[in-house]
A and B are shown apart, each in its own frame.
Chain A
Amino acid sequence: MSVLIFVDQTEGHIKKASFEALTYGAKVADQLGTTAEALVLGTVNDDLAALGKYGVKKVHQVANETLNHVDTQLYAKVIAEAVTASGANVVVFSHNQTGKAVSARVAARLKAGIVAGASSLPDTSNGFVVRKPVFSGKAYANVSINSPIKVISLNPNSYKTVAGEGTAEVVALNVAVDASKIKITAVNKVVGEVPLTEADIVVSGGRGLKGPENWGVLLDLAKELHAATACSRPVGDAHWRPHHEHVGQTGVQVAPNLYIALGISGAIQHLAGVNRSKVIVVINKDPEAPFFKAADYGIVGDLFEVVPKLTEEIRKMKASA
């Protein structure tokens, strides 16, 4: 018995969401009275022994360069073998772009029940029950996993990373890796921006900004907060901002610690993409904007006056801190 945590990497570096998954997985192992082990696929530059500080005792690595790109077909096979080799009965993923695809395949391959997008530790008092948001964050379901092997993919930003002391033993895992059937022809990373789904803070703009030429106030605020930028659907549809920034029911769903909405009315479809955010701030000149009902803090006012002041006040606060 053990808990195996899949550690997601990109370009040799471990992703932030993986630290949450490691902390979470170690806690699950504690609950079950067993040990937590990590699995890294591909070659990495980061110090894997240091993953011990999140509570894992052992890190298995399949250092095969084919695995530096995610091919879920190859990943599922390798991970399933690692699960067997480590005798794991709980497998933890982060529910990010990679984890969503890979965890599903692994679950099917192992015939293991999955809670995809978990937001809590399992309740093991009566079976193995994990909570997850459903209906786009409008409710939660408590889901019981009834199979011997259990797969959990943890929603990013729903479990706090805790780093303590400790060093993990790094073990090379020899698994045959097939050739990938997927040929990557280009990778286009948005340089210099915080990835939206990994961001602690998101600053988002709507039609209230009146046009793409006015985005400067939003970008200044985002820069000051090291925040990712997002937008509402009409803004994406009008090509004021790139499509990948569209947050909402049919766009990206985010769950940052802080979501700041500028000039967004808060249609129910937009709220479905942001209502798992911990703190929501709404700045809108219309006091009747429905977004205020979903917000924690709000300012009714002209965003073109309020936002530069807000950026300035944050700068002051940081300077005095």
Chain B
Amino acid sequence: MKILVCVSKSPDTTSKIAFTDGNTKFDEAGVQWIINPYDEWYALVRAIELKEKDPATVIHLVTVGLPDCDPIIRKALALGGDEAIRVNTDSSDSYYIAAQIAEVAKKGAYDLIFTGKETIDYNGSSIGGMVAELVDAPYVSLATLFELNGTTASITREIEGGEEVCEVSLPVVVSCQKGISEQRIPNMRGIMAARTKPLQVVEPASIETLTSIVNYELPPAKAGVKLVSPDNVAELVRLLHEEAKAI
């Protein structure tokens, strides 16, 4: 069993979001970088659990990014990946990123490709579907449970107002979310082992970018909360009805 887990670097949730260069660049000053939580807690940890059940499993990590991604890749290796591949380029265009991952995926002939359900920076939820299309594999998104039975996967995924259980033969691309596994903390042995695990840097394939970010904007500041006395709940209802027109 060969699993490819796609990981992305993203700013920590508590980071201050600010922009520079006339609001065209994300201000990285003081930002703490983490593995995108969906990639780490769900995609990677589920892959590790599968390897714990079947030690013949090999987990490769792939990220598309510049050398500043290396610390988060080492952390992912410390959690349990076997090898990592970093495609040495950066872009905000989801097609460009997905196509780079698809190149890696085609070369590695993986049985399973896991992604997080979205990244917490661009929030596109596009990479999994695009990679699946580019490698011509089935895609199951928003998975909350994943079990393997030989070469068949049984997957539960979120649909509107409920869930759907399906079976699919490998290879398959799966986007993972809460429910599929639980967050883990790397242990010291993992951290030591990660230092010597292979991290291969490959140059990007020649791929077009189809979108570009013109600029960023911060949302207008909230006007401030209007507090209503707990003894006058009717006033809140009036405000919601007449002023906010929300009920």
Instruction: From known contacts A104-B130, A140-B217, infer whether A297 and B166 are also in contact, taking CB-CB under 8 Å.
Output: no
The answer to whether the Cβ of B138 comes within 8 Å of any Cβ in the partner chain is yes
A222-277 at interface with B (beta carbon < 8 Å)? 225, 236, 243-244, 246, 249-251, 253, 257-258, 268-269, 272, 275
- Contact check, B129 vs A105: say whether CB atoms are below 8 A apart: yes
Instruction: From known contacts A105-B130, A108-B133, infer whether A299 and B227 are also in contact, taking CB-CB under 8 Å.
Output: yes
Q: How many residues of B contact A (CB 8 A)?
A: 84
B-contact 0/1 string along A162-183, CB 8 Å cutoff: 0000000000000000000111
Instruction: From known contacts A105-B130, A139-B216, infer whether A10 and B160 are also in contact, taking CB-CB under 8 Å.
Output: yes
The answer to whether the Cβ of A145 comes within 8 Å of any Cβ in the partner chain is yes
A-contact 0/1 string along B5-22, CB 8 Å cutoff: 000000101100101000
Chain B contact surface mostly: mixed
User: Separation in Å of the A272 CB from the closest CB of chain B?
Assistant: 6
Q: Which residues of A contact B92 (CB under 8 A)?
A: 141
Chain A contact surface mostly: mixed
The CA-CA distance from A112 to B126 in the complex, in Å, is: 12
- Contact check, A189 vs B162: say whether CB atoms are below 8 A apart: yes
Q: Which residues of A contact B130 (CB under 8 A)?
A: 104-105, 107-108
- Contact check, B225 vs A296: say whether CB atoms are below 8 A apart: yes
The answer to whether the Cβ of B185 comes within 8 Å of any Cβ in the partner chain is no
- Contact check, A184 vs B120: say whether CB atoms are below 8 A apart: no
A180-210 at interface with B (beta carbon < 8 Å)? 181-190, 193, 195, 197-198, 201
B84-109 at interface with A (beta carbon < 8 Å)? 92-95, 98-99
- Contact check, B217 vs A76: say whether CB atoms are below 8 A apart: no
- Contact check, A107 vs B158: say whether CB atoms are below 8 A apart: no
Choice from A97, A117, A309 contacting B142 with Cβ under 8 Å: A97
- Contact check, B123 vs A299: say whether CB atoms are below 8 A apart: no
Q: Which residues of A contact B150 (CB under 8 A)?
A: none
A-contact 0/1 string along B134-168, CB 8 Å cutoff: 10111111101000000000100011111111111
Q: Which residues does B use to contact A, with CB under 8 Å?
A: 11, 13-14, 17, 19, 37-38, 41, 92-95, 98-99, 120-130, 132-134, 136-142, 144, 154, 158-169, 175, 177-179, 208-219, 222-223, 225-230, 233-234, 236-241, 244, 246-247
The 8 A-B pairs with the shortest beta carbon distances in the complex, nearest first, are A301-B230, A104-B129, A113-B210, A195-B161, A189-B162, A104-B126, A108-B130, A116-B124
Q: Which residues does A use to contact B, with CB under 8 Å?
A: 10, 15, 69-73, 76, 95-98, 100-105, 107-109, 111-117, 129, 131-147, 181-190, 193, 195, 197-198, 201, 225, 236, 243-244, 246, 249-251, 253, 257-258, 268-269, 272, 275, 278-279, 281-282, 292-302, 305-306, 309-310, 313-314, 316-317
14 A-B pairs with C-beta separation under 8 A = A10-B159, A15-B160, A105-B132, A107-B95, A107-B130, A114-B126, A139-B216, A182-B140, A183-B166, A243-B179, A244-B163, A253-B123, A300-B227, A306-B233
